[in-house]
Structures are given as C-alpha cells and as structure tokens.
Amino acid sequence: MELSERCFKIRAQCKSLKNDMSELFPIIENVKVDLKSLISIKHKCDPGICKGKISCCAEYEVCIEKDEVDKVFAHTPGAAEFAPQLKANGFYRNIFDETDDNLIAIDTDEDNQCLFAWRDSNGEILCSLHSHAIKNNLSFYDTKPESCCLWPLAIYSGSPEILTVQEDAFNFDCNKKRESEKVELDPEISSIIKNVYGEKMLVGINHAISKI
C-alpha cells in the first residue's frame, strides 16, 4: 500500500470516529449530552426501595449555585415541619457553606445525611423539601435544588457542560440498567430532563437518539 493511500485511510478512519463521537455526544441547547449513558438507565424514585439501604439523601454533599439559595431558603419553613433539625432555639439554622469552587454546600449531619432529610414512621428517608411540595400541591422541581431534581443524572463541568449519568448511580436500587432493545430514554429520565431543561431540550435529545 502506498503511503498516500495509507494516510488517506487513516484520515477516513479518524473522520468516522469523530462523526461517531459527535453522534454520541451531541451539543444540544449548549450542553454536551452523553446519549449512551442516558439511554442505559432506568429510574424509579420510590423511598421504599431505599429502606435500610443507601439513599441519595445520605450519600452526597449537595452543592447549589448561589442563585438557588433564595429558592431553597424560601421553602425551608415548610420543610422544617418535616425536618425539625432545620431549626435551633426557635430560629432557622444557617445550613449553607460556601465551597472553594464558589458554590454553596448544604450542611449534613454526623451521619453524612442532608439536613433536609427526615425519616417517616416507616423508617424511610425522605426529602423535606419534596414532602413540603406534595403537602402544598407544589412541583418539587420548584422547591428542591437542581442537582437533586436532576439525580440520577448529573452535570459535569466542561466547555460546554456535560449531561450524563451520576458515576455511582447504579449503586442505588432505584436505578437499573435498561435491557430493552429499543434505543430510547426511560420515561422517568425523560420527565427529569423535561422538567429541569424544558421540552425543547428533551425533543433535541430524542431526535439525536433516533439517529444513533
């Protein structure tokens, strides 16, 4: 094989690989989307599944953007009806700490459990912001931090940011590997994307998936 022909084939292979990567990581609404990860997961948010096991409310330090603090704090009085640890001596506790990367972290207790978490009479760990939303006919997407609403998906820093699946998501029983032959999003994952990013983002992702 002549050198020029070999170089041509190598360039063709590189171009094919680049096209495959762009199909699997399309940029939609200024976010790079990890399609392969998103279609690999099935999710069901049911606290009963996590009873006596690891829970997302007790495994992570929740970090939020500074512009989310007011939203979360506005719903703290309602959340405190379920999680009394949010108050001390009749006042709401300062549960926010600034991190080194200019985010805001929500405090955890000695068991590494988010201070918004509480246990019901069945011993199930629940989110007080979520419980407050249900009690008052609110959308929990309007009361909870975006990172919590997005879970088991996650945003990783980059240029642009990358939407993918939380790296340890399958350690939790509420997440399973999808075994369907259909290349599509799980309905619950679709709902998360729609509520966090909007209908246009979901349509764009589904269109990209259809081209795989």
* Amino acid 29: pLDDT: 95
Q: Is residue 9 part of a domain?
A: no
Residue 66 in domain: yes
pLDDT of 5 reads 52
Number of domains into which the chain is organized: 1
Distance CA 55, CA 168 (A): 12
State pLDDT tens for residues 162-195: 999 999 999 998 999 998 778 999 999 999 999 9
φ, ψ at 63 (rounded to 5°): -110, 140
pLDDT tens per residue across all 212 residues of the chain: 555 554 444 444 444 434 456 788 999 999 999 999 999 999 998 877 777 777 887 788 888 888 899 999 999 999 999 999 999 888 998 889 888 888 899 998 888 889 999 988 888 888 999 999 999 999 999 999 999 999 999 999 888 999 999 999 999 989 999 987 789 999 999 999 999 999 999 999 999 999 88
Is 121 a member of any domain? Answer: yes
Return the sign of the alpha-carbon dihedral for residues 199, 193, 191, 140: negative
What pLDDT, on the 0 to 100 scale, is given for residue 165? 96
> Does residue 6 form part of some domain?
no
Is residue 181, in this structure, part of any structural domain at all? yes
Q: Is residue 125 part of a domain?
A: yes
Q: Residues with Cβ < 8 Å from 87, sequence gap 6 or more? A: 80, 93
**Does residue 145 lie within any of the structural domains?**
yes
User: Which domain, by its residues, includes 39?
Assistant: 26-210
What are the counts of helices (DSSP H) followed by strands (DSSP E) for the chain?
A: 8, 13
